[in-house]
Structure 1
Amino acid sequence: MALSTPAILAILGVLFLVRKALTIGSRHKDYPPGPPTLPILGNIHQMPKRDAHLQFQKWANEYGPIYSLMLGTRVLIVLSSDQAVKDLLDKRSAIYSAREDHYVGQQLCSGGMRFLMMEYGPTWRYFRKMCHVLLNVNVAKTYVPYQSLENKQMLHEMLMSPDRCLQNIRRYSNALTTTMTFGWRTPTYEDAKMKQLYEGFSEFVQINQTGTAALLDSFPILRKLPDWMFPLQARAKKAFKKERELYLGHWLTAKNAMKTGTLRPCFCVGMAQAQQEEGFSDDQAAYITGTLLEAGSDTTASTLYAFVQAMLLFPEVQKKAQREIDRVVGKDRLPNMEDEPSLQYIRGCVKESLRWMPTTILGAVPHAVIREDAYMSYRIPKGAGVMNNVWAIHMDPRRSPEPRRFDPDRFKDDFLNCADSATQPDASKRDSFTFGAGRRICQGMHVAERSLFLGISRMLWAFDISPVIDAATGEAILPDPDRLTQGILVMPEEYKVSITPRDQGRADLIEKEWQEAEHLLDPITKQWKQTPGP
Structure 2
Amino acid sequence: MAAFTSSQYALAAGGIGILLLLAKILTIGRRPKNYPPGPPTLPILGNMHLMPKKDAHLQFQKWAQEYGPVYSLILGTKTLIVLSSDTAVKDLLDKRSAIYSDRQPSYMGQDLVSGGLRVLLMRYGPTWRMIRKMVHNILNIVAARSYVPYQDLENKYMLLGILESPDLFADHIRRYTNSLTTQMVFGFRTLSIDDPKLKQLFHGFEKFCEVTGNGVAVVIDLFPILRYLPDFMLPMRAYCKRLHAKEKDLYVGHWMNVKKAIKAGTAKPCFCVDLVKAQEVEGFSDDLAGYTAGSLLEAGSDTTAATLIAFIQALVLFPNVQKLAQEELDRVVGQDRLPTMEDEMNLQYIRGCVKESMRWMPTDILGVPHAVTKDDWYMGYLIPKGAGVVNNVWTIHMDPKRHPNPREFDPSRYATDFQTAGEAAANPDVSKRDHFTLGTGRRICQGMHIAERSLFLGISRILWAFNVEAPLDADGKKILPDPNKLTQGLFVLPEPFRANIRPRSEKHAAMIREQWDSCLPLLDGEMQWREVPKGMAFSTYDPTKHQSAEF
Give the TM-score normalised by structure 1.
Answer: 0.98
The partner residue of 1:455 within 458, 483, 496 is: 458
Which digits, 9 at most, give the CA deviation of each residue in 1:306-363, with x for residues without a partner?
1111111111111000000000000000000000010000000000001000010001
Asked whether the 8 Å contact 1:520–1:532 carries over to 2, the reply is no
Structure 2: runs of 5+ lacking an equivalent: 536-551
Give me the whole-angstrom Cα distance separating, in 1, the residues matched to 2:144 and 2:30.
Answer: 47
Partner amino acid, structure 2, of 1:482: N
Q: Give the match for residue 413 of structure 1.
A: 416
Q: Give 3-state SS (helix, strand or coil) of 1:70's partner.
A: strand
Give me the whole-angstrom Cα distance separating, in 2, the residues matched to 1:224 and 1:496.
Answer: 46
Partner amino acid, structure 2, of 1:36: P
Query: Given the alignment of the two structures, is residue 50 of structure 1 paired with residue 51 of structure 2, yes or no?
Result: no
Partner amino acid, structure 2, of 1:426: D
Q: Give 3-state SS (helix, strand or coil) of 1:468's partner.
A: coil
Give me the whole-angstrom Cα distance separating, in 1, the residues matched to 2:264 and 2:341.
Answer: 35
Partner amino acid, structure 2, of 1:512: E
Q: Give 3-state SS (helix, strand or coil) of 1:453's partner.
A: helix
Query: Given the alignment of the two structures, is residue 288 of structure 1 paired with residue 289 of structure 2, yes or no?
Result: no
The partner residue of 2:23 within 8, 19, 22 is: 19
Q: Within 5 Å, which residues of 2 pair with 1:284-323? A: 284-323=288-327
Give me the whole-angstrom Cα distance separating, in 2, the residues matched to 1:63 and 1:215.
Answer: 24
Structure 1: runs of 5+ lacking an equivalent: none
Partner amino acid, structure 2, of 1:267: F
The partner residue of 2:519 within 517, 520, 523 is: 517
Give me the whole-angstrom Cα distance separating, in 2, the residues matched to 1:303 and 1:209.
Answer: 20
Asked whether the 8 Å contact 1:145–1:533 carries over to 2, the reply is no
The partner residue of 1:372 within 372, 375, 384 is: 375
Q: Within 5 Å, which residues of 2 pair with 1:243-258? A: 243-258=247-262
Give me the whole-angstrom Cα distance separating, in 2, the residues matched to 1:15 and 1:115.
Answer: 43
Give me the whole-angstrom Cα distance separating, in 2, the residues matched to 1:307 and 1:265.
Answer: 33
Asked whether the 8 Å contact 1:175–1:185 carries over to 2, the reply is yes
Q: Give the match for residue 440 of structure 1.
A: 443
Q: Give the match for residue 549 of structure 2.
A: none
The partner residue of 2:173 within 155, 169, 173 is: 169
Give me the whole-angstrom Cα distance separating, in 2, the residues matched to 1:533 and 1:317.
Answer: 37
Q: Within 5 Å, which residues of 2 pair with 1:379-390? A: 379-390=382-393
Which digits, 9 at most, give the CA deviation of each residue in 1:15-42, with x for residues without a partner?
2111111111111010001111111111
Give me the whole-angstrom Cα distance separating, in 2, the residues matched to 1:94 and 1:209.
Answer: 27
Q: Give the match for residue 346 of structure 1.
A: 350
Q: Within 5 Å, which residues of 2 pair with 1:133-532? A: 133-363=137-367, 365-471=368-474, 473-523=475-525, 525-532=526-533
Asked whether the 8 Å contact 1:48–1:55 carries over to 2, the reply is yes
Displacement of 1:522 after TM fit?
Answer: 2.6
The partner residue of 2:14 within 7, 10, 15 is: 10
Displacement of 1:533 after TM fit?
Answer: 7.6
Give me the whole-angstrom Cα distance separating, in 2, the residues matched to 1:241 and 1:42.
Answer: 35
Partner amino acid, structure 1, of 2:47: N
Displacement of 1:532 after TM fit?
Answer: 4.8
Partner amino acid, structure 1, of 2:397: H
Give me the whole-angstrom Cα distance separating, in 2, the residues matched to 1:228 and 1:522.
Answer: 53
The partner residue of 2:119 within 115, 139, 149 is: 115
Displacement of 1:208 after TM fit?
Answer: 2.1
Give me the whole-angstrom Cα distance separating, in 1, the residues matched to 2:384 and 2:395.
Answer: 23
Asked whether the 8 Å contact 2:71–2:83 carries over to 1, the reply is yes
Instruction: Give the CA RMSD over aligned residues.
Output: 1.3
Give me the whole-angstrom Cα distance separating, in 2, the residues matched to 1:4 and 1:395.
Answer: 64
Asked whether the 8 Å contact 2:269–2:532 carries over to 1, the reply is no
Displacement of 1:4 after TM fit?
Answer: 2.4
Asked whether the 8 Å contact 1:419–1:446 carries over to 2, the reply is yes
Displacement of 1:531 after TM fit?
Answer: 2.7
Displacement of 1:292 after TM fit?
Answer: 0.8
Which digits, 9 at most, give the CA deviation of each residue in 1:150-187, with x for residues without a partner?
00000000100001011011010100011111111101
Which digits, 9 at most, give the CA deviation of each residue in 1:365-416, with x for residues without a partner?
2100000000000000011000000000000001000000011111010001
Displacement of 1:265 after TM fit?
Answer: 1.7
Q: Report how many residues are paired.
A: 531
Displacement of 1:466 after TM fit?
Answer: 0.4
Give me the whole-angstrom Cα distance separating, in 2, the residues matched to 1:483 and 1:167.
Answer: 19
Partner amino acid, structure 2, of 1:211: G
Asked whether the 8 Å contact 1:65–1:84 carries over to 2, the reply is yes
Give me the whole-angstrom Cα distance separating, in 2, the residues matched to 1:120 and 1:253.
Answer: 29
